[in-house]
Amino acid sequence: MKKILVVDDEFDLLTTWRLVLQMEGYQVVTASNGLLALESVRANPPDLIITDWMMPTMDGLALCRALASDDTLSQIPVVLSSAAARIPDVSHPRLESHRKPLSIDSLIEIVTRLIGPA
């Protein structure tokens, strides 16, 4: 089963995306900030990471930079989402940026395109 890590400090969005992706057949783990996400990725790498940009402790940009600096973890596709009008450039070989809010249909399309169906 393909595993997705969803990272967001907004509990309602985190819960919604987790439930939607589980209903699509993916295994989903969650984290409320980039530091917890990085610990999770290092312990058990997922097939895809979906992360918010602005979060406490470690934001999504810092998470992407940390992942990009590791030869193995840099190969995990990352979807960086934000409500900000402009997301700063960050160097990561498999990064996609998307504006929030993402519709459920858009989320599923992005996930399926990046890692295939569950």
Over range 23-29, report the average pLDDT. 98
| Confidence (pTM) | 0.93
List the domains of the chain with CATH numbers. 3-115 (3.40.50.2300)
Q: Which pLDDT band holds residue 85 (cuts at 50, 70, 90)?
A: low
Q: Is the Cα torsion angle 80, 106, 99, 30 positive or negative in sign?
A: negative
Q: Which pLDDT band holds residue 88 (cuts at 50, 70, 90)?
A: low
Report residue 31: phi and psi, to 5°. Answer: -150, 150
Q: Tell me the per-residue pLDDT of 28-84, one tens digit each, with 9 for 90 and over.
A: 999 999 999 999 999 999 999 999 988 988 999 999 999 999 999 999 999 999 876
